[in-house]
Amino acid sequence: MTEADVRHAHEGKGVTAAHEQGTIRQAHEKDCGAVLSIFNHYAVHGFAAYADKPVRERYFTGLLKNAYAFYVVDSPEGVLGFGFVKPFLPFSAFATTGELSYFIMPEYVNQGFGSLLLYRLIRDSRTKGISMVVAHMASWNEEGIRFHRKHGFYDAGRLKKVGKKFGEPFDILLMQKAI
């Protein structure tokens, strides 16, 4: 799905499987349990989240308070995923750079929800004066790396063996995209 396809579906001019199954809406306090459940799945089952044990409500509260934009994918089945953009660094020198992240329930991956979230976050980032977005991920997170490259992110650097999870050292891959 290209950004144009995602934009087209998001604007209601077309229909995609993701658009039919879920809607993007602002995250609210009531979403805390669902967001933590999704994030904690990745914390204990893979490299998409850096955490190696479940996080608590403070993680969610921090996002709700500090993110420029924080959305969930809502559906009749409940929250299927979430995404946010937050300040890259807390200094005015980086005011035009945002850091993106998103997590989709495993059974809904590769159905367009990540693309819808990405497009919405980029759109909102532009309205806040952000012109560059960055993402970083564990080198073992091959699916995340492919997703970002597919959406026009390029490799911007690599921090070698800075993390260790499940007894495995990993690199952090930095990626960015001008918006």
pLDDT on residue 22: 83
Which of 118, 114, 97 minimizes the C-alpha distance to 176?
Answer: 97
CATH number of 3-130: 3.40.630.30
Residues of the chain with pLDDT under 50: 1-18
pLDDT on residue 20: 61
- Integer-rounded Cα Rg, in Å, for the chain is 16
Three-state secondary-structure class, residue 27? coil
pLDDT on residue 8: 45
pLDDT on residue 9: 43
pTM above 0.85, yes or no: yes
pLDDT on residue 19: 52
Outline where the chain has alpha helix (H): 3-10, 17-21, 32-45, 57-66, 113-127, 142-150
| Every domain of the chain and the residues it spans | 3-130
**Tokens coding 103:** 């997590």
Distance (Å, whole) CA 161 – CA 99: 21
Instruction: Tell me the pLDDT tens digit for each residue of 119-137.
Output: 999 999 999 999 999 999 9
